[in-house]
Amino acid sequence: MHLVVEAVTSCRFEVTDPASEEVVLMKILQVLLACMKSKVSVMLSNQHVCTIVNTCFRVVHQAGTKGELLQRIARHTMHELVRCIFSHLPDVDNSERALVNGGSSLKKEVFLQIGGLDNEYSFMNNQLENGNNNSEYAGQASSVGFTTSASMNLANAMDESTIGANNGKESVGHDLHLMTEPYGVPCMVEIFHFLCSLLYIVEQMGTGPASNTIALDEDVPLFALGLINSSIELGGPSIRRHPRLLTLVQDELFRNLMQFGLSASPLILSMVCSIVLNLYHHLRTELKLQLEAFFSCVILRLAQNRYGASYQQQEVAMEALVDFCRQKTFMVEMYANLDCDITCSNIFEELANLLSKSAFPVNCPLSAMHILALDGLIAVIQGMAERISNGSVVTERCPVTLEEYTPFWMVKCDNYSEPTSWVPFVRSRKYIKRRLMIGADHFNRDPKKGLEFLQGTHLLPEKLDPQSVACFFRYTAGLDKNLVGDFLGNHDEFCVQVLHEFANTFDFQDMNLDTALRLFLETFRLPGESQKIQRVLEAFSERYYEQSPQILANKDAALLLSYSLIMLNTDQHNVQVKKKMTEEDFIRNNRHINGGNDLPREFLSELFHSICKNEIRTTPEQGAGIPEMTPSRWIDLMHKSKKSPPYIVADSKAYLDHDMFAIMSGPTIAAISVVFDHAEHEEVYQTCIDGFLAVAKISSCHHLEDVLDDLVVSLCRFTTLLNTSLVEEPVLAFGDDTKARMATITVFTIANNYGDYIRTGWRNILDCILRLHKLGLLPARVASDAADDSEISSETGPGKPITNSLSSSHMPSSIGTPRRSSGLMGRFSQLLSLDTEEPRSQPTEQQLAAHQRTLQTIQKCHIDTIFTESKFLQADSLLQLARALIWAAGRSQKGNNPPEDEDTAVFCLELLIAITLNNRDRIVLLWQGVYEHISNIVQSTVMPCALVEKAVFGLLRICQRLLPYKENLADELLRSLQLVLKLDARVADAYCEQITQEVSRLVKVNATHIRSQMGWRTITSLLSITARHPEASEAGFDAVTFIMSDGAHLSPANYVLCVDAARQFAESRVGQVERSLRSLDLMAAVGCLSQWARQTKEATMGEEEAAKMAQDIGEMWLRLVQGLRKVCLDQREEVRNHALLSLQRCLTGIDGVALSHSLWLQCFDMVIFTMLDDLLELAQGHSQKDYRNMEGSLVLALKLLSKVFLQLLDELSQLTTFCKLWLGVLSRMEKYMKAKVRGKRSEKLQELVPELLKNTLLVMKAKGVLIQRGSLGGDSLWELTWLHVNNIAPSLQSEVFHDQGSETQKGETAATPLAGGVAIPTTETIVS
């Protein structure tokens, strides 16, 4: 194999004709490629492989003057060779270790110095074998050799670009030893180095002379870049195992890529970008700062047209950026590694902003560029949305705060590969970075206040120290460099200390003095005063000398030379200096400054040329958004990259997405919306919709409600449903507008899937729903609620949702239902119905198709589920939905378009009631708002209308359905029914019957759930009102009967109220007398009072409680008899007399209830006596026509008096006020005796009164109540009794006390005192 390779690579031949020459060269290429591709190639040494590549490249080089075919084959062979060699890299490590035994690892990957080997083997063969130096590339004889001055330049350049290797002469031995080993990393390092140097040459030479056959401006770099790309693709991650190769990639290759990235050729830029993408894939962990530099100095620079980039460059840069965005973890890693690093720029933020801005078409139609940027943006968003599905979304985010000062530039992460460790670290770094930026802003306005602000946020210590301030200046972006320069140049002792600490933050190791000075002066503006300049340069020189003494004798030498460089810089680059310093002048000026000796001439000469070619900028670039990559900055970058914290590799979990999305959500929604607005193709619509849905998913997952609301607002605009500008045929227009239909489906998809996190957005969604409702496009189910399915009654009575949808003939069967003829469809329903009065043309195919599309769209929206599934909404969202409904209803109530607006208000109310019923478990949340809304409607309506009907019956329905479930809310719910009592009379009258039916239904179903007096008061008030309403009274009475019959649902809480309600029905003249009599029977059922009294006795309760209960029962009884007293005055004879009998029953037939004496006295005063007086007055004052047969009633009343009095005699006679009571009875009898009914005395009363009186006196006598005793004042019971009795019937005294004459009794004292315990013969006979 060795011999074959040597023979073929050294092949020389005479050229007879060009065609045969090309054939021979092709054959050479074939043989070499075959050698490399065969299995035996493992026997080839490093040297042979290098020679093969070298030979092949020469052919490529020469082919430029030959035929097209040879050129192509040569280049193809070169590619194949590189692929073949580098595909060997992943396996090379182990085999190499086995081959090079005993060799130290350093020797294995030693820098193979170009030119360190014999020329025979050297890559850059400098012999001009057949050459004549003058005619470039024009040698007639052909060989496989490299010719011309280009190769010289190539060689020189290669020599120059060798970095930090040993001296060639010493390393030759090892190199030869290594080069003869079977091939591995050493030859790859050589080849890779050579490929990088090809780029470097082109840079050095610029565009070659016109006679060059290879157009160096594009061809060579493209060729080299292609080879480099292949080698990286195949070497891949294995490169990081070989430090020598990795260093080439990190420094030389990347530096060249940065230069070529700004090339005007889109092809080169494209190639550079694909190399960087490959490097990102395989080696990103080793290229953190290089990637940052590439994005900030190349991609961001070119993609924004501010920097004079051509459209093609912008497009290529944007394409590259989009390719990066499609890498799932790219943006997360940029954010974690760069945006959250204090010393790096915010690449993620800048890229996201760039994508948003670039997607915005400003005053121009959509171009490919806009769509490209949109793709990138949506790729980032969809990446986030996908990560959500991978779990680990932190819902509870702890806010980052700094409790105390720690030097922010020192903080390190414990473990950069463990998310639990790096995520909080990165978030706190970002927080610090943000606070520093705010601090910088304060500092730029007022340095003192800026530092105080940072002390307040714990970023600087309470007592400032020089190091912390120096680090603030060094690591904070956005500081005003003039202010920093002034601070550092100040003579104040603290400022001087800060200056020295500031200089100590730089790393000048192995740097040229001019490079170090450039880096130092880039961070602030050098002050103008000479003393300040001196102080600054002293600090710099001290640091420089400490780190890179090189040939300087002491720090003074460094100081003097630095001064000299500043002066040279001013001299060379200030336009006002006419006579410029020469190199000789510069060298002469710097004699004897190195500790009394001269510095080497070459050293000074190099410094002189460096400053002349490249100015040291002492004034910072104002407003320079994107810096250029200068050589000094690159050197600094390489220094920093050695100390940079490890690269964080993100996995597919959503650790930082919340923070990232918060940064980019606003511009993203805006950009997608604008593109959606301008787009005209369905695939672009779809891309935007995907973006919208991804944004919705992320916002809801990370609980970013504001973002979701913004999105909903934005989308609702596109549904065209909000523009009420009267389109001729809104339904058809909607059917023809793909964009509007897609937006509508998206809005409702978001509402259904992510409704939990919508807040103010509900208003916009509701506006869309209302618009569809006005157009009659909503499914009938929308306003119903889940619980309605169980209600079997089919008629749409009050309390049923009013169905609203297109009539069946116009709708697909799935959502067809009868519709109210509210004419909401306007022109369109006429368009479709062919039987209208005026003849109309049939709808066209297109119109029918458009209508069909509209209906299909609405079906896909599933609008009804928003409300039927509202029970799953989060509380905040549900509350906002309810508020939105109230707001929309309120707005339409105020409108000037009554019929349509009322319809809207009714519809909103239906929806509100539906969600209230669907959320019975969370009624507390909604109740206040719902109640207030219904209350407003009820109190502001003066005429019957659909809205107030809906409000009242909705309220009743809510109560009916919720009472069984919400006992704690029962009072609240029932109190709300008082609204019905506040209805305007006309409104109440119109709906009275249905309201009563509903209340009746409510009572029958929920009587057991109504516990409080307040609740019952509301119910009985509602029922009482109906007593005088012709239509409603039947249902009302029905409900009262249900509660009171058999005392089924009576309780101490509702007894008095129910009695009162029954009295209203008894007194009401609406309906038959029969009903009044039944009402009286209901009232007079005192069984429950006895029962409660019995239960009180049996119950084990405290004395106080029992006494209280007894007192309450007494009160109830008193209220009952008072109620009956009122009915006793009724005009209708049957009712009056029945009331009297009922009253008598209640007064005499109350067993087991202990009524106190005071109660009885009250009863006589307020009930019995009053009733007798009132009846008498009625009998005497009204005509027979008004009050028929009053005589009979008076008789009944007197009998009642007598009977009650006698029954209670025992108890009452012991009271001190008995005399007064007895006189009351007598005076009533006297009045009745003398009463004139219809002008003459009543015979019946004339007979009855003496009889009743006699009876009473006999009983009193028998019981020993009425007996003669001695009297002092003459006002004794005895005397007063006879005084009255004689007025009524003078003969009674002798009849009752026939054994004692009145005269003989007078003045005698009673021997026996009045005693309750005397045994008295039974008086039954007398009483009867």
What are the CB-based long-range contacts (under 8 Å, 24+) for 447-454?
447/483, 447/487
- Rounded CA-CA distance 867/976 in Å is 24
- Rounded CA-CA distance 1031/1027 in Å is 10
Structure tokens at 958: 């809510």
Query: What is the three-class DSSP state of 1215?
Result: coil
Mark 488-513 as b/e (b = at least 16 C-beta within 10 Å).
bbbeeeebbebbbbbbbebbbeebbb
| Residue in 680, 681, 679, 682 with CA at minimum distance from that of residue 671 | 679
* CB-based contact 985:970 (threshold 8 Å): no
End-to-end CA distance of the chain: 151
Determine how many CB atoms are found less than 10 A away from the CB of residue 1305.
15
Determine how many CB atoms are found less than 10 A away from the CB of residue 1278.
18
Catalytic member of 120, 418, 529, 680:
529
For the chain, the residue count is 1328
Determine how many CB atoms are found less than 10 A away from the CB of residue 942.
12
The number of C-alpha atoms within 13 Å of 1177 and in the hemisphere containing its C-beta is: 8
Structure tokens at 230: 């292949």
Residues 6+ apart with CB under 8 A from 6: 48, 51
* CB-based contact 400:427 (threshold 8 Å): yes
Site of tokens 């009482």: 1024
529 is catalytic: yes
* CB-based contact 265:302 (threshold 8 Å): no
- For every residue of 717-735, DSSP letters joined together read HHTSSS--S--SSHHHHHH
Report the 3 state secondary structure along 1246-1276: HHHHHHHHHHHHHHHHHCCCCCCCCCCCCCC
- Maximum Cα–Cα distance across the chain: 187
- Rounded CA-CA distance 235/229 in Å is 10
Strand partners, 597: 594
What are the CB-based long-range contacts (under 8 Å, 24+) for 1131-1137?
1131/1186, 1131/1187, 1132/1069, 1132/1073, 1132/1076, 1133/1187, 1133/1188, 1133/1189, 1133/1192, 1133/1193, 1134/1073, 1134/1076, 1134/1077, 1135/1066, 1135/1073, 1135/1076, 1135/1077, 1135/1080, 1136/1193, 1137/1192, 1137/1193, 1137/1196
Residues 6+ apart with CB under 8 A from 1177: none
Structure tokens at 700: 């809801």
Report the 3 state secondary structure along 243-273: HHHHHHHHHHHHHHHHHHHCCCCHHHHHHHH
For 11, the enclosing helix (H) or strand (E) is none
How buried is 1203 (Cβ within 10 angstroms: 0-12 exposed, 13-18 middle, 19+ buried)? middle
Structure tokens at 542: 């001290």
- Rounded CA-CA distance 915/502 in Å is 66
* CB-based contact 785:915 (threshold 8 Å): yes
Structure tokens at 934: 């219904």
List phi, psi (to 5°) of 597: -105, 170
Q: Which residues are catalytic?
A: 529
